[in-house]
Amino acid sequence: MFHNARIKLTLWYLLILMIISAAFSLTLYRLLINEFDRFSRMQKLRFEHRLNIEVLPQPNRIKINQNYPPPDETLIKETKKRLSLFLLTINIFILTVAGGLSYFLAGKTLQPIKKMVDEQNQFITDASHQLRTPITALKSSLEVSLRDKSLTLPEARKIIMDNLTDTNRLQNLSDSLLQLSQYQQSNTTIKFEGVDLNKVISDSIRKIRPLSQKKNIIISYSGKTAYIQGNKYGLLDLFVILLDNAIKYGPIKSLININLTNTDKIVIVSVEDQGIGIAEKDLPHIFDRFYRSENVRSQKQTNGFGLGLSIAKRIVDIHQAKITVKSQRNQGTIFSIIFNRINS
């Protein structure tokens, strides 16, 4: 599809360039031809004027053929022919060079569109794959239950509870997909303002505290005032995602440390946990959609679809910030976000 589009766009570029080139060449040709004709006419007039001069004595007679020779029509015609051939050669050269450049430019023009379409197709494929599993489980469970005529009430209640779990997974997945689409970089509806990171981090801790209390995990943070230009709701989602991951993959009765470093130009927020860590081979892929490392997939008690860090990366990119990660297996993980600071 994109190859055909590239060819068509190349032809359109060529058509526009050749119309401009042909118009310029024709205009130049007409101007030069007019100059040749004007020169020829002037030469004729001067020659005729000299012929009408009264004949002078022999010593003072003007040598007409030497000073004002008559115009050479053959030479003028030959010059016009050579000019036409020269302009035609130039246009053929422009057509050849412009063809290659137009094809290259068409590829560069379509590259962002192709990338966006490829990402969209990959997103649809991944989302369909993730949706298929809980939907298939729900359908199979209901079909088997309907065929079982000896189904008891306690068994029916258990089936309903299992189906409710799958329904909640579907709801979480749809919410994550909507959140991911909300933070597309092309989304222009996100408003930025001066935001105090201290308040955002404190709000995210309060929001995530019920989950940390279930595992007796302590979140340590000493508040510091720091202002950046951003969207407070997006930043709240960012830190909730990082804290949720730290709690989800952290051991019971562990510690999560949040540190804020404030300098003249940047603000660095780091979230450090004591969890299972990330293998070195998985680090380059942790921000990919639906990516889950091998040690995470092996933990059956953890629920997730691999969208959280992808959403976090989108939020960071929208804020023109930078996120880095340091981690080792079974030694915890440190996520650091570097923001540009503004004066309060």
CA distance 205 to 211: 10
CA distance 111 to 64: 70
Mean pLDDT of 241-255: 90
Top mean pLDDT of 7-16, 47-56, 130-139, 323-332 is at 323-332
Percentage of the chain with pLDDT > 90?
A: 19
Pairing outcome for strands 218-221 and 255-262:
parallel
* Separation of CA 165 from chain center: 36
DSSP assignment of 240-284 equals HHHHHHHHHTSPTT-EEEEEEEE-SSEEEEEEE--SS---TTTGG
Q: What pLDDT score does 47 carry? A: 62
pLDDT in tens, 118-128: 767 766 776 67
Better-scored residue on pLDDT, 200 or 185? 200
Could you give the C-alpha distances from 331 to 251, 316, 328, in angstroms and in order?
11, 25, 5
Phi, psi for residue 333 in degrees, rounded to 5: -140, 145
Q: How many CB atoms lie within 10 A of CB 65?
A: 10
Could you give the C-alpha distances from 219 to 85, 254, 256, 281, in angstroms and in order?
82, 9, 5, 28
Contacts of 275 (CB under 8 A, 6+ apart): 246, 249, 250, 251, 254, 332, 333
Q: How many CB atoms lie within 10 A of CB 195?
A: 22
Q: Which two tokens stand for residue 77?
A: 């015609």
Q: What pLDDT score does 19 carry? A: 86
Q: Give the domain ranges of the chain.
A: 2-117, 124-182, 193-340
Lowest average pLDDT, out of 12-21, 195-204, 229-238, 311-320, goes to: 12-21
Q: What pLDDT score does 55 carry? A: 45
Give strand ranges (E) for 166-265: 193-196, 218-221, 227-230, 255-262
Mean pLDDT of 180-203: 79
Mean pLDDT of 70-85: 72
Q: What pLDDT score does 343 carry? A: 62
> Does pTM top 0.75 for this prediction?
no
CATH number of 193-340: 3.30.565.10
Q: What pLDDT score does 289 carry? A: 78
Residue type, 252: I
CA proximity to 201, closest of 251, 277, 256: 256
Q: What pLDDT score does 257 carry? A: 94
pLDDT above 70: residue 168:
yes
Mean pLDDT of 149-155: 82
Mean pLDDT of 228-236: 90
Mean pLDDT of 17-39: 80
CA distance 158 to 224: 49
pLDDT in tens, 108-150: 887 877 777 776 776 677 667 667 767 877 888 888 888 888 8
Top mean pLDDT of 66-70, 152-156, 283-287, 289-293 is at 283-287
Q: How many CB atoms lie within 10 A of CB 221?
A: 17
How confident is the prediction for the chain on average, in pLDDT?
A: 79
